Amino acid sequence: MNGEVGRDTLSKTRRTVVVAVINAILIRCQVQRTEGRMKAAIHTRRKKTLPSLNVEEDGSAAICDAILQICYAMGCEGFPRAPPRWWMKRRTGGTWEDLRHCDDATADYFKDKLRMLLCVFREIAETLSPFLERRVTFYREPLQPDHIVAYALYRWASGETYESGTCSFSIGRSSGLVAVRDVTAVLLTAYPDKISWPTGLQKAVVLRAFADKGFPNCHGCIACTHIFIDKPTNCPGEEYYDRKRRFSVQLQVIVNLS
């Protein structure tokens, strides 16, 4: 103070260490805050850390106490989240809000938008969620796994362009591209027993057969059909009643030239 260098100032190395520790703790705080464990964790760590400090200077305990106070403030929403950059698309309502509110999203609405029932969508989203978790940043909350799955299914079901489809789900076009790419890869990982492709020699034979018929780089042909069944017992009959006014299940198969 008064133009004089204080005797108790930290060295450059110690200042660097303190800054690195604070940055690491703040990132950890953001993760723990979302899990609802911040306040309890800070209280427990403060009790364990401060009495056991083996300090050589009086300022070390004060620094540790200040770091813990910062963490506590972060956990109690004491620091506001930084506003999004101007180039980030702000998220509003749209189709996703209608799908997310279960009271408003009827079964018919889900079938119209995603071509499936609500229970089927929830099962798929629950299976893919562990693979689609996004890292929390300081700008805004990441897209939730069910939001990502819903957009990918909507894109495939409707065939809309990325420009219009992403507006309905209040995400950017680049986020929509990443969502479709990630969900495609995760489906192949999460359902290996339901989605498989020929490999090795079998793949080469199939590709060669289709190429000889004028279809290069083709693995198979997709066909869909109805398999008529008797009226199911102990099941909701409306789930099996098709547009041809008969009870059936839908089949989608991929076949080769054989």
229-258 pLDDT, tens digit each: 887 777 777 778 887 788 888 888 888 888
Q: What is the pLDDT of residue 85?
A: 46
Task: Select from 169, 191, 213 the last residue of a domain.
Answer: 191
Task: Select from 155, 172, 191 the last residue of a domain.
Answer: 191
Q: What is the pLDDT of residue 1?
A: 41
The answer to whether position 24 is within a domain reads: no
Domain shared by 105 and 169, yes or no: yes
The answer to whether position 169 is within a domain reads: yes
Do the strands 248-255 and 221-228 form a parallel or antiparallel pair, or are they unpaired?
A: antiparallel
The answer to whether position 222 is within a domain reads: yes
Residue among 128, 96, 131 nearest 114 (CA): 96
**Average pLDDT for 153-178:** 86
Residue among 141, 161, 138 nearest 151 (CA): 161
**Average pLDDT for 174-198:** 87
The answer to whether position 162 is within a domain reads: yes
Domain shared by 101 and 178, yes or no: yes
Domain shared by 157 and 243, yes or no: no
Q: What is the pLDDT of residue 106?
A: 66
Q: What is the 3-state secondary structure (H, E, C) of the chain?
A: CCCCCCCCCCCHHHHHHHHHHHHHHHHHHHHHHHCCCHHHHHHHHHHHHCCCCCCCCHHHHHHHHHHHHHHHHHHCCCCCCCCCCCCCCCCCCCHHHHHHCCCCCCHHHHHHHHCCCHHHHHHHHHHHHHHCCCCCCCCCCCCCHHHHHHHHHHHHHHCCCHHHHHHHCCCCHHHHHHHHHHHHHHHHHHCCCCCCCCCHHHHHHHHHHHHHCCCCCCCCEEEEEEEECCCCCCCCHHHCECCCCCEEEEEEEEECCC
The answer to whether position 77 is within a domain reads: no
Domain span including residue 148: 95-191
Domain shared by 104 and 185, yes or no: yes
- With cut-offs at 50, 70 and 90, classify the pLDDT of residue 84: very low
- With cut-offs at 50, 70 and 90, classify the pLDDT of residue 182: very high
The answer to whether position 223 is within a domain reads: yes
Task: Select from 141, 170, 191 the last residue of a domain.
Answer: 191
**152/165 Cα distance (integer angstroms):** 10
Q: What is the pLDDT of residue 153?
A: 92
Domain shared by 136 and 219, yes or no: no
Domain shared by 114 and 170, yes or no: yes
Domain shared by 175 and 237, yes or no: no
Domain count within the chain: 2
The answer to whether position 44 is within a domain reads: no
